[in-house]
Amino acid sequence: MYSRKKIQEDIPEVITKIWSCQSEDCNGWMRANFSFDHTPTCVLCQSPMTSEERMLPLIVNMNDHVKLSAVVTTAE
Ligand SMILES: [Zn+2]
């Protein structure tokens, strides 16, 4: 029997490039797959952000799936 929890544990984690807020008091971060041309500022506190890599479950890619389905819809 497969419970919902079991399925979630099977989601692989991938190394994901992110921008992380430099402020000690702020947990702000964002995915960096489209914004490496310049250093962004944190949307929460306007501090500079630094490039990091973090292990994130694939489910974080949900926005990419949305874009992908949008492309497929356009192709039809
Ligand atoms: Zn911040």
The total number of structural domains that make up the chain: 1
Residue 28 maps to a domain: yes
Residue 45 maps to a domain: yes
Residue 6 maps to a domain: no
Q: Determine the distance separating the centroid of ligand 1 and the alpha carbon of 44, expressed in angstroms.
A: 5
Residue 62 maps to a domain: yes
Single pTM value for the model:
0.57
Q: Each residue's pLDDT tens digit in the chain (76 positions)?
A: 555 666 556 788 889 889 999 999 999 998 886 555 678 899 999 999 999 999 988 754 455 555 555 555 555 4
Q: Determine the distance separating the centroid of ligand 1 and the alpha carbon of 49, expressed in angstroms.
A: 8
Residue 3 maps to a domain: no
Q: Determine the distance separating the centroid of ligand 1 and the alpha carbon of 65, expressed in angstroms.
A: 27
Residue 4 maps to a domain: no
Q: Determine the distance separating the centroid of ligand 1 and the alpha carbon of 3, expressed in angstroms.
A: 37
Backbone region of residue 46 per phi and psi (left: phi > 0; alpha: psi in -120 to 50; beta: other values): left
Q: Which domain holds residue 59?
A: 11-75
Residue 70 maps to a domain: yes
Residue 47 maps to a domain: yes
